[in-house]
Amino acid sequence: MEVFCCSLDPRKYDHVPLPDLGFAPVNGSDPHQFASRADDRVIDATAVLGWDILEAYGGEAVQVVLIDGPCPGQDTGCWPPKEIIEQEVESMVTADDIRQARARIAGRLHRTVLDLSSSFSRPAGGQVYLKPESLQKTGSFKIRGATNYILQLDPERGRRGVIAASSGNHGQAVACAASWMGYPCAVVVPEAASPVKVEAARAYGAEVIRHGHTSRQRLELAERLAEERGLAFIHAFDDPRVIAGQGTVGLEILEDLPDVDQVVVPVGGGGLIAGVAVAIKAQRPQAQVIGVEPEGANALQRSLKAGAIVCVDQPTSIADGLLPSRPGLLPFVLAGTHVDDIVVVSDEELCRAVIALLERARLVVEPSGAAGVAAILSGKVSGRDRRTAVVLSGGNLSLDFLSRLLAKPDGK
């Protein structure tokens, strides 16, 4: 799989030699349509594998199309060259952006502690610190990015309303932040969304729309409704303002543990690990940043290995918050530069981690949020002789699920 990139404004790259691409934009009025130079066919990019438009702070945009196979007449698979695209993405989320996000959201959210856990340090052979974002407002780190986005939204646009696609945590975070500003909010969730997360979003005043079973299905509906209703679409992980907000977790870790050796972060779409990695590497580049994905939903691990975004057609895991079918483009590029490794854990390891956190740390953490601890307990990430910070990304766990888990600790 190749990544074919094309600027919506080719003049932006007039200094870059244009290769003989097999496909080129038809015109600027419809960025979805590409024409084949070989036979004048017009193809819809959305029908190939998918597309994203990323708006930089300066208002410029990049069109990204995933092509199943190399682009005809092109050896590199990418124009502008991959290095230029990476430079642009790198500039979208910086350590300064994260510091500004920290100042912007200060006073509205909790500053969660970083707690040294002797219960997890002993078996790891080092010092293991827990960062319980499960105790954050709305029960997860997602409120950081949602708040940073909404506080930068033009009030007139906000009053028309906002919309999000979410497995649950991002949706209730957007709903909460929107309620603070008095903005209408709609959230598209999967048909099988956690009742706890759905009711929380409704409690914040959101319209909850159940749709589909995959992240792609939710995104498509949310984007269509945003266009039809004139709503501001807030992406869960592929937006620079959201990523900068999530990166404030990394700033707090550095303040509490300046000599941290490694930071372990659950990975879904990649927004959290992208922001945390940018923050950590800017101040302590020698520290390792390690992501943890479920075995059945390791899209970022596979993408980084392939050097291009890879889709997981049917991601499966007990960790419902870590099931995007593909990572975001921004997280993919930022992770390629700042993340040291991605490991995977099984559902059984996730369940054991949830129980261990409940028994040893008295913390209620959902399987998605327990991924880092699962990696430590299973030995997938070594904590020996290291100062390790583990982000517990969420704690929105239903009592029904917890009771079933305690009855069958292996999660089967």
To the query of whether residue 305 is one of the catalytic residues in this protein, the response is no
Q: Which of 166, 194, 325, 393 is catalytic?
A: 393
To the query of whether residue 325 is one of the catalytic residues in this protein, the response is no
Residues 6+ apart with CB under 8 A from 60: 8, 9, 12
Q: How far is CA 156 from the centre of its chain?
A: 27
The tokens describing 410, both together, are 């292996």
Please tell me what DSSP assigns to residue 394.
B
Choose among 263, 274, 257, 401: nearest CA to 337.
274
Residues 6+ apart with CB under 8 A from 148: 101, 104, 105, 241, 242, 244, 245, 248
Choose among 318, 315, 324, 386: nearest CA to 349.
318
Single-letter residue type at 302: R
Give all strands of the β-sheet with 387-392 in edge-to-edge order: 115-116, 127-132, 387-392, 262-266, 288-294, 341-345
Pairing of strands 262-266, 387-392: parallel
CA distance 279 to 281: 6
Q: Which of 137, 142, 197, 380 is catalytic?
A: 142
**Which positions are catalytic?**
142, 393
